[in-house]
Amino acid sequence: MGLFDKLAGWLGLKKKEVHVLCLGLDNSGKTTIINKLKPSNAQTQDIVPTIGFSIEKFKTSSLSFTVFDMSGQGRYRNLWEHYYKEGQAIIFVIDSSDKLRMVVAKEELDTLLNHPDIKHRRLPILFFANKMDLRDAISSVKVSQLLSLENIKDKPWHICASDALKGEGLQEGVDWLQDQITQSDSSNEDMRDK
């Protein structure tokens, strides 16, 4: 880190950097969500299925997020685990209208939660029950039941209903994530002070 960066950090001018993994099945809307969180002049108009992964950035009032937007296609899902150590938070996206593959989404989530690089860490997980605009979408409560989210006891989690095309529900989710990360920072500082 250069002297300028250090100074900016001390003066509170530089936002804390957080690495986030964006996971979920293909076609759930991960890239669309991340794109909508970027400033409007950095947003792209045509979103195509992600190949492998892509690294994206967006900022909130106090944090600077670097997102690993992973492809959800079956053949690329084995890439996810290589980034688990790197991730400080997870955004997990579900297509709420894809009832047929809800069981596949649950399998991928369970595999993630049981992975040694994730299992014993208190990472915040933000779920987006996406595509709420579609007529056959199920509610976020139903999504959370089908994924058995109530069984996640050792990590803070939150589910938001979203429509990534209109950008609805995204801000609420990201505000929650920011609160979780800043709270855990201040509790770590409290621990160090003791």
Ligand X SMILES: Nc1nc2c(ncn2[C@@H]2O[C@H](COP(=O)(O)OP(=O)(O)OP(=O)(O)O)[C@@H](O)[C@H]2O)c(=O)[nH]1
Q: Is 108 in the site for ligand X (CB under 6 A)?
A: no
Reported for 170-173, long-range contacts at CB under 8 A and 24+ positions apart, including other chains, are: 170/33, 170/36, 170/37, 170/128, 173/91, 173/126, 173/128
Contact 17, 55 (CB under 8 A): no
Give the E-state strand segments of 114-165 in sequence order.
125-130, 157-161
Per-residue binding string, ligand X, 138-157, x by CB under 6 A, is --------------------
Q: Is 73 in the site for ligand X (CB under 6 A)?
A: yes
Residue 49, token pair as written in the block: 């299925």
Catalytic position from the list 43, 45, 73, 171: 73
Contact 30, 72 (CB under 8 A): yes
Selected binder of ligand X within 7, 16, 165, 188 (CB under 6 A): 165
Tokens 């009032």 belong to 61
C-alpha distance from residue 177 to each of 37, 39, 41, 142, 187 (Å) = 13, 18, 24, 22, 15
User: Is 73 considered catalytic here?
Assistant: yes
Q: Is 50 in the site for Mg ion (CB under 5 A)?
A: yes
Binding residue per annotation — 16?
A: no
Binding residue per annotation — 2?
A: no
Greatest alpha-carbon span in the chain? 54
Binding residue per annotation — 78?
A: no
Report d(CA 148, CA 188) in Å as an integer: 29
Q: What is the nearest approach in angstroms of Mg ion to the Cβ of residue 49?
A: 6
Nearer to Mg ion, 50 or 140 (CB): 50
131, interface contact from Mg ion, ligand X, none, CB < 5-8 Å by kind? ligand X
Binding residue per annotation — 173?
A: no
Report d(CA 164, CA 22) in Å as an integer: 14
Q: Is 72 in the site for ligand X (CB under 6 A)?
A: yes
Binding residue per annotation — 12?
A: no
Q: Is 178 in the site for ligand X (CB under 6 A)?
A: no
**Residues identified as active-site:** 73
Binding site for Mg ion (CB under 5 A): 30-31, 50
Binding site for ligand X (CB under 6 A): 24, 26-32, 47, 49-50, 71-73, 93, 130-131, 133-134, 163-165
